[in-house]
Structure 1
Amino acid sequence: MQRRYNAAYVWTEEGLRPDWSVVVDEQSAQIVAVAPRQETRARYPDAAETDWRECALLPGTVNVHAHAFQHLARGRGVDQPFLQWRDQALYHITPHLDAHSLYLASKLAFVEMLRAGITTVAEFFYVHGDSLDNDRAVIQAARDSGIRLAFARAFYDWQGAPGPYRETIDEAVRRTQTLAQEVAGDSRVSLHVAPHSLHGASDDMIRQAYALSRDLNVPCHIHVAEEQFEVDEVRARTGRTPVEHLRHLEVLGPHTIAVHLVWITPGDIEILAQTRTQWAYCPSSNLFLADGIAPLPQLVGHGITAGLGTDGGCSNNRSSIFEEMRMAALVHKGYQRDATAVNWPTVLEMGTSQGAQLLTVPAGIIAPGHLADFIGINLSDPSLIPWTPDTLLANVVYSMQPSAVQEVVVDGRPVVRDRAWQSGDQAALIQDVQTLVHTWQA
């Protein structure tokens, strides 16, 4: 079945187009036409119609780095240095985590993301326990919520971490291979590989994880130079910066997604550019945890492909890529004392087409052949007013509130209608999470 979405404006690669329509083949979940409304009506007379004439139709945003389970620690460890935050938030709730609690946490996070216009998320998950039950619970939460999921399965063998995080190399490889087979053929779930970091995974584990990512032909995610202590530890152990050491391990390249990149040198930027390594930038989390400010203008200036991530529900503590767009632009204007340092088109692309490119998802652009993952922005929302065709997209980045996200379509299927999540009972989900967390206090 084909469906025609008639919008007040459609944002295409050529810009905003007034009174255009997007035609979706609901069986393949692909966009088949983007053209003026009258033209699509003539070409697709039998297509069902959906009226979005009070909305601008934009690509769904792409969240390239998240830890959904951390929603259960929201509000814990706030205003604390990184290691105290880790102990008071993450390590505090870890003993309580099982498949059921992880399912609820992930579903809550994914619903919040969908309502904020996120249609794809890379979930960097490391609370595995001693089986695949926890992993499967997170994946099921994505399926039930309606979001598109890149499940970045972490490899973690640092002996100082809680037991549920740790696996041997053989266990991590075998379980990841099993999970990859299980999700094969799922149109909305893909599996990626994610050695945690140079402090969370041994050099051998990182090498093995990267090799597996190449065998599976999927991206390899890794936290890099988020904190000063990580840089100091790696230098003390190897005499290299984290980026230099990852190059030494031969795990950088166009299939690698380096997360954070806060504490890097000009030489590191050259290495990242030469190897065509990609970057997941989490500006709000980096500020919330006082990590520092990653050199966005310099990295982008070297041609490094960059996407935006929300990071964790207790390290941000919001889940909106539109929020990350605004934050990324504003923090660098202030830090550089240069209003031109980062502009809205740059961050808008980071949150849409470039994020999709990082995750190898054919989305983030409204064009034939791309996935039908898009959103409707209500043009009457007060946070956008006043707008004109030449100011609308700048307003989306700098002034828009989440209330403006009225409609969300993922894989050709509406998952948010008139601001309401369609795939389940949101009130019951909230009550289940509240009840769960309060039982931990008993």
Structure 2
Amino acid sequence: MSAEIDLLIRPEWIIPIEPAGTTLSGHALAVNDGNILALLPHEEAMQRFRPRRTVELPGQVVLPGLINLHTHAAMSLLRGYADDLPLMRWLSERIWPAEARHAGPDFVRAGTLLACAEMLRGGITTFNDMYFFPDAAAEAARRVGMRAVLGIVVIEFPTGYAADADDYLARGLAARDALSDDPLLSFCLAPHAPYTVADKTFDKIATLAAQLEIPVHVHLHETAHEIEESLKQHGVRPVERMRRLGLLGPQLIAAHGVHLDAGEIDLLAHEGCHVAHCPTSNLKLGSGIAPVSAMQSRGLNFGLGTDGAASNNRLDLFQEMRHAALLAKGASQNAESLDAHASLHAATLGGARALGLDERIGSLLPGKAADLCAVRLDEWLLQPCFDPASHLVYVAGREQVTHTWVNGKLVMSAGVPVQIGISELLDITGLWHTRLTS
């Protein structure tokens, strides 16, 4: 006797990420109560299940929802505001002054809402955020039904959000407590960077990370200048400083990791750390090219991030997959480095593992949450298609994403977010454009 279920999805292909390198055709995905119930051949699915809804997707591929491992979502309101500057001038001359004037709860709520809509449009179902007012960011993520890992941001200097490092921690932990019952929300400790956080504060963060069993998300080895300043001030490179402070371990997510040497890569891999690779932002800010081929060969887990739209200027993981693969090949002079399946792994399960969420998301195993996206590969511009995985990385883009589901719920369809109107998003951007330019 067949079982009633919520949803049956029948695409042309399914790329489950686990087992690695697998592409299935003629298979269906059964979803019930927000979870993946089974992945099985079409004929068997029709015999076993009576779906309340069936979605037929000829010419399309279904894969896990993409995971944006490093972003500053609210900074979508600063897209294009400070272009063509190196990182420290970008921060000190444009970004930090703008944030000092405008970055309150309304700014964060509006910018994160815009970012969430953009990410859902591109098949991203989870984002790891680092920004002020995480409670306001949570409101935006809830509004559109997106999964979010919110940063408990810590920095030494005062802002409109908090007065000092202890105040940042207290406010972030209070937001975590208030939102603890939401299954789509979780938290990271998010010290901004070694050059903006003192040893005393890092000691507190290491203790909290162990007590709360949550990740630590920090900018690390993003620029050569950062390393030069660390050597002057502390006598060691930032990774070594983090080691001495007890922060290296499976909880650490190092954002960027552009200037890691071979010994540091080995150390991070040995300690079970993770890297959030942000190839487009690194290129645009002139920070350099991360040694991803070496990370891959040495077993250092990495996911993909967009960084914020103020330095990218897109929250587009299809772009990041393509750039990551091409840069890895070019920098290593090895065309086999970071192949299509490895790029897809980084954009999905690699990010999930870094966040400690790989038991819940990142691949299409039964029992995991039904965080999914569907991508058209049958448009004439994309033909011919010999390998769907290769096509996703090297040919298709976010404009080919047709459906996005989070926890089994359809949150983007036909290029439009389900839970917010485009006119409202345009009103938000118009309002903040006026404020930022007046």
Same fold (TM over 0.5): yes
Offset, 1:168: 2.9
1:130 corresponding residue in structure 2: none
Alpha carbons 2:10, 2:27 under 8 Å: kept: yes
Look up the equivalent residue of 1:71 and give its one-letter code.
S
What does residue range 226-265 of structure 1 map to in structure 2 within 5 Å? 226-265=222-261
Q: Could you tell me which residue of structure 1 aligns to residue 31 of structure 2? A: 24
The aligned residue for residue 115 of structure 2 is: 109
Amino acid paired to 1:119: T
Counterpart of 1:44? Answer: 49
Q: Structure 1: how far apart are the matches of 2:112 and 2:194? A: 26
- What corresponds to 1:148 in structure 2? 147
Which amino acid in the other structure matches residue 147 of structure 2? R
Work out the CA distance in 2 between the residues paired with 1:244 and 1:187. Answer: 36
Partner of 2:283 in structure 1? 287
How many residues are treated as equivalent by the alignment? 428
Distance in 2 of aligned mates of 1:89 and 1:71: 14
In structure 2, what residue type is equivalent to 1:137? A
Tell me whether 1:200 sits opposite 2:196 in the alignment: yes
The yes-or-no answer on 1:99 pairing with 2:99 is no
1:334 and 1:348 map into 2 onto residues whose CA distance is 18
User: 1:47 offset after TM fit, Å?
Assistant: 4.1
Q: Offset at 1:165?
A: 5.9
Which whole-Å CA distance do the structure 2 matches of 1:297 and 1:106 have between them? 32
1:33 corresponds to 2:38: yes
Distance 2:337 2:375 in 1: 27
The letter for the 2-side match of 1:143 is R
Counterpart contact for 1:156–1:166, Cα < 8 Å: no
Contact 1:243 / 1:271 at 8 angstroms: preserved in 2?
no
Instruction: Quote how far apart the aligned CAs of 1:427 are.
Output: 2.0
In structure 2, distance between residues paired with 1:46 and 1:308: 34
What is the CA–CA distance in structure 1 between the aligned matches of 2:277 and 2:418, rounded to whole Å? 30
Q: 1:384 to 1:367 in 2, by over 3 A?
A: farther
In the alignment, residue 204 of structure 1 is paired with which amino acid? K
Aligned counterpart, 1:296: 292
Structure 1 CA distance for aligned equivalents of residues 118 and 97 of structure 2: 23
SS in 2 for 1:351: helix
Tell me, yes or no, if the aligned pair for 1:383 and 1:401 is still in contact at 8 Å. no
1:63 and 2:59 are equivalent in the alignment:
no
- CA, structure 1 residues 377+80, in 2 after alignment: closer, same or farther (shift >3 Å)? same
Shift of 1:121: 0.4
**How far apart, in 2, do the equivalents of 1:439 and 1:81 lie?**
25
- Name the structure 1 match of 2:338: 342
Deviates more, 1:187-196 or 1:375-384: 375-384
1:205-237, Cα deviation, whole Å (9 max, x unpaired): 112112212211111111111112211111112
Q: Which runs of 5+ in 2 are unaligned?
A: none
Please list the CA deviations of residues 218-276 of structure 1 after superposition, one character each: whole Å capped at 9, or x if unmatched: 11111111112211111112211111111011111011111111122222122212211
Q: Are the counterparts in 2 of residues 66 and 310 from structure 1 also a CA contact under 8 Å?
A: yes
User: Equivalent pairs: percent with the same residue?
Assistant: 29
Cα distance in structure 2, aligned partners of 1:180 and 1:351:
26
Q: Partner of 2:385 in structure 1?
A: 387
Aligned AA for 2:32? D
Q: CA deviation at 1:46?
A: 4.9
Letter in 1 for 2:206: Y
**3-state DSSP class of the match of 1:62?**
strand
2:80 aligned with 1:84: no
Q: TM-score by structure 2 length?
A: 0.94
Amino acid across the alignment from 2:402? Q
Native 8 Å contact 1:34 1:368 kept in 2: yes
| Secondary structure of the structure 1 residue equivalent to 2:130 | strand
1:23-58 C-alpha deviation (Å, 9 max, x unpaired): 1113xx110111112212211125432222342111
What residue number does 2:78 align with? Answer: 73
User: Which deviations, in whole Å up to 9, do the C-alpha atoms of 1:257-297 show, x marking residues without a partner?
Assistant: 11111122222122212211111111111111001111111
Match of 2:307 among 305, 308, 311: 311
Q: Which of residues 314, 324, 333 in structure 1 aligns to 2:320? A: 324
TM-score normalised by the chain length of structure 1: 0.93
Change (3 A) 1:79 1:10: same
The answer as to 2:145 corresponding to 1:139 is no
Q: Per-residue displacement from partner, 1:319-354 (whole Å, max 9, x unpaired)? A: 111111100111222233332233222111000111
Q: State the shift of 1:88 in Å.
A: 4.0
SS of 1:338's partner is coil
**What does residue range 118-197 of structure 1 map to in structure 2 within 5 Å?**
118-125=124-131, 127=132, 134-157=133-156, 159=157, 163-164=159-160, 167-197=163-193
Structure 1 runs of 4+ aligned residues shifted over 4 Å read none
Is the 1:123–1:151 contact (alpha carbons within 8 Å) kept by the matching residues of 2?
yes
